[in-house]
Amino acid sequence: MSGPADGTSKTSVLVAVVIPAFKVSGHIVKVVESIGPEVSKIIVVDDACPDQSGNLLQKMIFEPRLEVIYHSVNTGVGGAVKTGYKRAIELGYEVIVKIDGDGQMDSSKITELIIPILTNQADYTKGNRFFEIEAVQKMPKIRILGNLVLTFITKFSTGLWHIFDPNNGFTAIRSTMLKKLNLDKVDNRYFFESDMLFRLSLLQARVSDVPLPALYGEEKSNLKIKQVLFEFPLKHGRNYMKRIAYTYYLREFNLASIELPVGLFLTGFGLILGGYSWIHGIITATPTETGRLVLIAMSFLAGLQLVLAFLSYDTNNKK
């Protein structure tokens, strides 16, 4: 197999690693040094890092596989990764791995991460820190809680009900699948990993989890709690609406396409009529008629049943 544009590949599989660098000067050198020979190219994107991580890296080590790209303006972790992705595609790499520069990811596990892609079992793989109980026990409790909440929300918004730990940044993707993505539409900030999953789901990509425990040290996350509490739910809600519209009304139309709107209408009708009847009964001190009570109960239960039927179909829909 011929090598990529810069001629650095010496392996039959062309693997590149992309590392976004922002305030990781204390870890980036060790991260790059730890990357094994299975990787042919290391692309570090200095995202206008105030610590000048890129310059530090080039001064501290000599690594022929290394290429540092500098952003004049900070674009966010997603923006930096997208720059690295585009460069790797330009150079002709077949599998592109993304690793953070903070030292939380064990680069010796890269081979495990890319095996499902190499064996044609997946188009995109990501680490899952929750697979082993021992590894979970070492994880900070606040991260466990945050990841559980975000995982549940992400399952709804992406339709990838089989995945866990959606914000795990240790990922690998087949370049042919990456080329199908409109990277300019993918979120530039910390919502990047979740947005990637959403857009891969729309392309019906095969996404797989790989058990890969994280390494926790003294590093600090740049992710702010307000982003998780406010920004992420709003963006997940937007993606959920887009996915439902595209999957069940634009790309195809089936029984589930009817179950959801009818179910929501009947459930809402039952709740509104029930609430009105309850308030009216309190104000007028009169009991609600039996017929109305039956109508309320039947509407609500029938609607709830239809919504649950839709969720069951959505959960098991592997298209």
Tokens 């959960």 -> residue: 315
CA contacts within 13 A on the Cβ side of 141? 0
* Confidence (pLDDT) at 133: 73
Identify the CATH number of the domain defined by range 15-249. 3.90.550.10
In this structure, what is the dihedral angle of CA atoms 56, 44, 97, 190, given to the nearest 10 degrees?
100
Residue 186, token pair as written in the block: 């993918």
Q: Please give the pLDDT value at position 99.
A: 95
Locate the DSSP E strands across the chain.
15-21, 41-47, 66-71, 95-98, 124-128, 171-174, 207-211
Nearest alpha carbon to residue 89 among 178, 199, 200? 178
Are 211 and 170 within 8 A, CB to CB?
no
Going residue by residue through the chain, which has 319 residues, state the pLDDT in tens, using 9 for 90 and above: 445 555 444 447 799 999 999 989 889 999 999 999 999 999 999 999 998 999 999 899 999 999 999 999 999 999 999 999 999 999 999 999 999 998 888 899 999 999 999 999 999 999 998 877 776 776 777 777 777 888 899 999 999 999 998 888 899 999 999 999 999 999 998 899 999 999 999 999 999 999 887 666 555 555 555 556 678 888 999 999 999 999 999 988 999 999 999 999 999 999 999 999 999 889 988 888 999 999 999 999 999 999 999 999 999 876 5
